Amino acid sequence: MKKNSMRFKSLLRAGAASIFLGAVPICSFAQTSQVANANSKTPDTGWNGKAEAPHYAEKIFPPWQHGENNDAVNQGFEFTVPEVDDMADFHGSVNDPKLVLYVGGNYFFAMAPLVKAFEEQYPQYKGRIFYVTIPPGMLVTAMKDGGTFTSGNMTFTAKPDAYFAGLKKVKALIADGTLTGKAVPYVTNDLTIMVPKGNPAHITSLADLDKPGVRVVMPNPAYEGIARQIEMSLKKAGGDALESAIYDTGVKNGTTVLTHIHHRQTPLFLMQGLADAGITWKSEAVFQEQAGHPIEDIQIPAADNTTAIYAGAMVKGAAHPQAASAWLEFIHSPTAMAIFERYDFKPYKG
């Protein structure tokens, strides 16, 4: 377990570096004329369809919710510097929370409005909810390490009350005793191809990801469950040859860049001009477009797409079982569905 804990902490550090620095030196932006305008109040005019450094580099780095995802009542002194000092996947206060949620990062952007709506129904939890939105497998590692995280120079403990991921993963964790009760499915999500605004590489289909000269950023199969759905879709569209070209040959020759910890990195790579396309969840592309980022998406036909079912369950020995039960009831309510549908999630109807 100690070995796993050390590995998890090293992954968090590596992932933080990639998420916050975008896998390129900060000075590379400082050398561009665009960055001189990073703090300008002038409206962003976009990239004019080109995959190059944006006019306002700061805008592309998390946290993209501008603090709206922090549920703490007293936030104290704010110290957030995009690219440098930023904890985008830890939300709220760890000071005696009354509900702790481990949520697979597939809908980090929906959590702030979900929490707000939940607190309106259960005001006793207002400002007392803490949640983590790193990949589901890493949440399991953290859970089995006692809920302790290290990110940068900060170490803290927040043991979960409920866990949310893909339905198969949730059922497996119930079977091994990590989770308890029934799995509660609530929404589904489909894949899409995310590209920079203007689609400079002229991507029209999954097959185009293997075109000469196309640089692809893809979720890492070692860390992210979405990679399995992506591999399935690549095989549907182009057989084993297309899947191998992206996840084997492409990785070896450098035309495919793998994320280090989180597919939140995909739009970062695209917005920095480090890649031409990447497969993500449709909901994430919708969020990026709604946020005004220079991102578009190319629809994947239903015949080639792969659908995920999201579910949750209570953690065995949860410190706040009543709050966890309330959240599990809320997560598939009409109120929650209305929020999810803003980002193109579909209600689960199984």
Helix intervals (H) in 63-182:
108-121, 136-144, 167-175
Angle between helices 2-21 and 136-144 (to 10 degrees): 140
Nearest to 187 by CA among 309, 284, 327, 280: 309
pLDDT at 342: 95
DSSP codes of every residue in 79-98: --BTTTB--TTEES--SS-S
Residue 321: both structure tokens together: 């079982």
Structural element, H or E, at residue 217: strand 216-218
pLDDT at 15: 41
Provide the whole-model pTM.
Answer: 0.80
Q: Which residues of the chain have pLDDT under 70?
A: 1-86
Place of tokens 């992932």: 15
pLDDT at 42: 35
pLDDT at 179: 98
Residue 333: both structure tokens together: 């309510």
pLDDT at 7: 42
Q: Which domains are delineated in the chain?
A: 2-23+60-187+311-347 (3.40.190.10), 191-299 (3.40.190.10)
